[in-house]
Structure formats: C-alpha cells, structure tokens
Amino acid sequence: MAIITVEHLQKRFNLEAGFFARFGRFVYAVNDISFHIGENETYGLVGESGCGKTTTARLLVRMYESDGGRIIYRDNTEVGSLGRRELKQYREKVKYVFQDPARSLNPRMSIYEVLVSGCRGSSRWPRGSGREKQLREAAAAILEEVGLGKEDLERRPSEFSGGQRQRISIARGLLMQPDLLICDEVVSALDVSIQGQILNLLLDLRNKRDLSFLFITHDLKVACYFCDRIGVMYRGELMEEAPAAELYKRGLHPYTKLLFSLENAPVKNSKLLITAAGCPFAERCPIAEERCFREHPDLLDAGTGHKVRCHNSLA
C-alpha cells in the first residue's frame, strides 16, 4: 500500500520582481509530477539545485499550497482538503527534516525543548501531571537511538557539531513515530566521513522501524546507495523513475547519465522554466534533435518499473 501518492502536482511562483514581472510570468517549480511512496519504502528525489525538490517536500506537508494536482495519504485521505486539526495529525505522521540543521534548531532552546516543543499539543501525550516525565523519557530514548545521550537533553544546539545537529533534527522528526520521514539534503552540508555516519544511522532506522522515507539529494550516487526507487527531477519535472539498482545499471535519460558522470556531483543551477515548450533538458542535451525543441516528451514506460521522459531514450 502507498503511504503517499502524488498526482499531477504543480506549484508555480510568481516572479514579482525583476524583468519578468511585467509579463506576469511564473517559475514552474513543480510542474505536473506524479509518484508514490510505498510502505517501508525509501524513495529518492534527485536533481540539481533549483529543480524543485524542496518545493515538492513543502507541498507534501502543506507548507505550500499547490496550484494543481493532489496528494493522497494512505488509501484515501486527500491532504489538500484536510481541516486544521486533521492537518496537524497528518503532520505528525509525515515529518519533514529540514535542509539546514543550523537554522532549523532554535539556538535559545535546550535540546529537550527542541525535541518536544511540537509534541505538547499532540493526543499522543495528553495534558496531565505525567506528561513531562513521559516526554522526557521519550526524548531521552530517541536521542539514544540516534547516537547521542540523555545527558545531551539540557545542552544547546550550538554545543554540537554539524553531524550531531543533524542527528538531533532526525530525532525530532522521529519522536512522533511518523509513517514517512522526509529527509531534505540531510547529508549534503556535512563532511564526507560524517555523511557516511548519518547515512548509516538512517539505514539503521530503516531496518529497525516501520518507516518510509522521501530522501532528497542532489547526489545520484548517494541516492542509489540509500534508496529503493528514485525519481530524477529536472526543472520541476520527473525525467526518469526506476528502482535504484535498475537506474544504476541502466540509467536511460541523458540527464541521468550526466548526473552519474559528474564527479562529486557539483551543484549547478537549472535555469528557471518560464515556458513549457519542448523538452526541458533540450538546451543541455548532447543528443537533442530538432523535435526536442518543439515537442514536450511524455514520461513513458520502459519496463520493470522504469519510466523515462525522452524522445530518444526508448528507441
């Protein structure tokens, strides 16, 4: 069963300032994407900076409202039509671990407050005399699970290294026992050796818990190592989707091949998508043909759960 199903999701931002303002033009940050994440599945969303990964994540937890499409939680809960109270419950089940741990942890709070501040309104910990004790026990247990100790509860975020802060962010995400943890570039700001430690922690959590992941990264190799299935995103669109092992062996899309060939995956900014004619990748594609600049390719089935959006990759 799918935990999350995304259908034709769209989000555009108005370019209020600058040259384009007078044309009333938009950035199509997320442009008609569809995918699902199964129970206990790790789905990777991969692409260069600016392709729409974070916007997708924010749409999933309704930090942004979408301009089109829908998001279904489990069988039939339409996320876009949840009322305030239901949305709060949904956000306990679908947790977003932010891209930047340095900014997402309030420096004035103790780690205990960082971890539990979102829990006090939850029905999991009802108001009453035993609540703080229960919260403290739960916070200590989760800190130990992510490799820190209960003595760390009284410390401040600034006393921890980048890797440790990322562990704290993950712990905060896990405290509500979510069904889906959205990890947005959780390793990209860290040194390579620390990245490995955090990935191992996530692998450990994956094995121990009933938990699905949306794993967002610009690094396709890291995604292939960590994920079950991967969607490759470019300028707001999914260009290819496949099981990770299949993508690694037989990446079909020219953009996927480019991402694999980049040493250490340097992050480049995709230009903004202003109009939707032709293939979004045409300007950079080594095998682009005249048709590619005119006709927008569909995402087509390439067999064994593999889909690709390219006029020339299925021939």
Ligand X SMILES: Nc1ncnc2c1ncn2[C@@H]1O[C@H](COP(=O)(O)OP(=O)(O)OP(=O)(O)O)[C@@H](O)[C@H]1O
- Residue nearer to Mg ion on the CB measure, 42 or 54: 54
Residue 98 vs 255, nearer CB to ligand SF4: 255
**Residue 202, binding choice from ligand X, Mg ion, ligand SF4, none, Cβ under 5 to 8 Å by partner class:** none
52 binds, among ligand X, ligand SF4, Mg ion, none (CB under 5 to 8 A by kind): ligand X
- Looking only at residues 236 through 275 of this chain, which bind ligand X when binding is defined by CB under 6 A? 272
Structure tokens at 286: 């080594």
* 54 scored as a contact of Mg ion (CB under 5 A): yes
By CB under 6 A, tell whether 236 contacts ligand SF4. Answer: no
Number of residues this chain uses to bind ligand X (CB under 6 A):
14
Closer CB to ligand SF4, 105 or 252, in the complex? 252
Residue 287 binding partner per list ligand SF4, Mg ion, ligand X, none, with a CB distance cut-off of 5 to 8 Å that depends on partner kind: ligand SF4
**Of residues 90-129, which lie at the interface with ligand X (CB under 6 A)?**
99
Q: Under the criterion CB under 6 A, does residue 312 sit at the interface with ligand SF4?
A: yes
For Mg ion, which is the closer residue by CB, 53 or 206? 53
77 touches ligand X (CB under 6 A): no
Q: Beta partners for 2?
A: 38
Using the rule CB under 6 A, is 254 a contact of ligand SF4? yes
Residue type, 5: T
Report helix, strand or coil for 44: strand
Distance CA 9, CA 71 (A): 8
Q: What are the angstrom distances between the C-alpha of 21 and each of 18, 24, 139?
A: 6, 5, 48
Q: Nearer to ligand SF4 by C-beta: 186 or 285?
A: 285
- Secondary structure of 149-200 as H, E, C letters: CHHHHHCCHHHCCHHHHHHHHHHHHHCCCCCEEEEECCCCCCCHHHHHHHHH
Number of amino acids touching ligand SF4 (CB under 6 A): 13
Give the x/- contact pattern for ligand SF4 in 258-287, rule: CB under 6 A.
---------------------x-xx--x-x
Other Cβ atoms closer than 10 A to 45: 27
Q: What is the DSSP string of 250-307?
A: H--SHHHHHHHHSTT----PPPP-----S-TTGGG-TT--GGGGTSPPPEEEEETTEE
What b/e string do you get for 163-180 counting C-beta neighbours within 10 Å, with b at 16 or more? bbbbbbbbbbbbbbebbb
Q: How far is CA 109 from CA 105, 113, 154, in A?
A: 8, 6, 9
Under 8 Å between Cβ of 145 and 137: no
Element housing 225 (H / E): helix 220-226
Specify the pairing of strand 212-217 against strand 229-234: unpaired
Among 5, 31, 42, 54, binds ligand X (CB under 6 A): 54
Contact pattern for Mg ion over residues 5 through 44, marking x by CB under 5 A: ----------------------------------------
> Considering only residues 40, 49, 110, 312, which one is a binding residue for ligand X as defined by CB under 6 A?
49
Q: Rounded to whole angstroms, what are the CA distances from 228 to 37, 242, 313?
A: 10, 9, 22
Nearer to ligand X, 27 or 94 (CB): 27
Judged by CB under 6 A, the chain residues 170 through 229 that form the site for ligand X are: 218
The neighbouring-strand residues paired with 232 are 46, 240
* Residues at the site binding ligand SF4, with contacts judged by CB under 6 A: 254, 279, 281-282, 285, 287-288, 292, 297, 310-313
* Residues at the site binding ligand X, with contacts judged by CB under 6 A: 13, 27, 29, 47, 49-55, 99, 218, 272
